Structure 1
Amino acid sequence: MFGILVIGILFVLRVNGDFLAQERTRGATLKPISACCDIPELGDPEPLRECSNPKLSGPCNDVQCVFEKSGFLTDKQSLNKEAYRAHLRKWLEGHKEWSDAIEKAIKDCVDRDLRQYLDYPCRAYDVFTCTGIAMLKKCPKDAWKC
């Protein structure tokens, strides 16, 4: 009799536990808003491939590698503004719905020198992060997932 009671209690706890877990997954979340906008890949395939084998660790090294191989830096800490601006505008030719986002990225991230304030300076990271934020702010409705 005691065994049946224990099994019954465990069953009730299991069912209620599942119900409570389901309730927590519905409704509002605090996931990063960046997860809500499906931003297409901005990089060209060749530099992305070259900088992926092996993938470089740290918040800067892989982005730095892609920026260097793409010609977006004149040296380790100086953005080649003309090259990056031209790349974004060329990318836009295949992604017309992103025109407001690209113009915001050029205005905020290429025409101005912003810092994202990592513990160490990384111009590629600063520009790339700024670009992502600008594109998120102007995410087209068709790319919005949340």
Structure 2
Amino acid sequence: MFRLLTSVTLFVLSVNGDFLTQERTRGATLKPISACCDIPELGEQKYLTECSNPKLPGPCNDVQCVFEKSGFLVDKHTLNKEVYRAHLRQWLEGHKGWEDAIEKAIKDCVDKDLRQYLDYPCRAYDVFTCTGIAMLKKCPKDAWKC
């Protein structure tokens, strides 16, 4: 009986050997957790290109540029909530599975006025960072990489 059980176990392990290999090759990581969720691009390629050529310096300027060109800001310090909310919901049409993440982003980042506390105020950065965090918290299983 022991031989039969051992033979069956070895057969199953040889057939499913890739499972054992995966477990041994996956090591610990200290990557930022944001690297573990493959969040699709939220911005329009046209505006991303315009705001990247040349790359604007600082932590806010490129995000500010994209938000301004996209119409997400009323002025430098005020989010156009209706436009940004509509953009996120329209984005969702092409990205099924992200419903919970988008609803969390709208609830946490559009319906509330959060501050991310850079050394200087940057509303675009505040909203963009909040959106990324909200989407990371509700990352769909099929987008999780770690």
* Bin of the TM-score, shorter chain as denominator length: 0.7 to 0.9
- Residues in 2 aligned to 1:144 and 1:29: alpha-carbon distance in whole angstroms: 14
Question: Which deviates more, 48-57 or 117-126?
Answer: 48-57
Show the counterpart of 1:131: 131
- Residues in 1 aligned to 2:95 and 2:109: alpha-carbon distance in whole angstroms: 19
1:6-45 equivalences in 2 (<5 Å): 27-45=27-45
Bigger-Rg structure (1/2): 1
Q: Which stretches of structure 1, 4 residues or longer, exceed 6 Å deviation after superposition? A: none
1:46-85 equivalences in 2 (<5 Å): 46-85=46-85
- Residues in 1 aligned to 2:116 and 2:76: alpha-carbon distance in whole angstroms: 16
- Residues in 2 aligned to 1:134 and 1:64: alpha-carbon distance in whole angstroms: 19
Q: TM-score, normalising length from structure 2?
A: 0.82
Show the counterpart of 1:113: 113
Deviation, structure 1 residue 26: 6.1
- One-letter amino acid matched to 1:129: T
- Residues in 1 aligned to 2:102 and 2:88: alpha-carbon distance in whole angstroms: 7
Deviation, structure 1 residue 107: 0.1
Instruction: Specify every segment of 5 or more residues in structure 1 that has no aligned partner in the other structure, as ranges.
Output: 1-24
- Residues in 1 aligned to 2:26 and 2:41: alpha-carbon distance in whole angstroms: 30
- Residues in 2 aligned to 1:133 and 1:66: alpha-carbon distance in whole angstroms: 19
SS of structure 2 residue aligned to 1:96: coil
- Residues in 2 aligned to 1:83 and 1:33: alpha-carbon distance in whole angstroms: 29
Deviation, structure 1 residue 27: 2.8
1:26–1:102 distance in 2 versus 1, CA, 3 Å: closer
1:31–1:72 distance in 2 versus 1, CA, 3 Å: same
Q: TM-score, normalising length from structure 1?
A: 0.82
Aligned residues: 122
Instruction: Specify every segment of 5 or more residues in structure 2 that has no aligned partner in the other structure, as ranges.
Output: 1-24
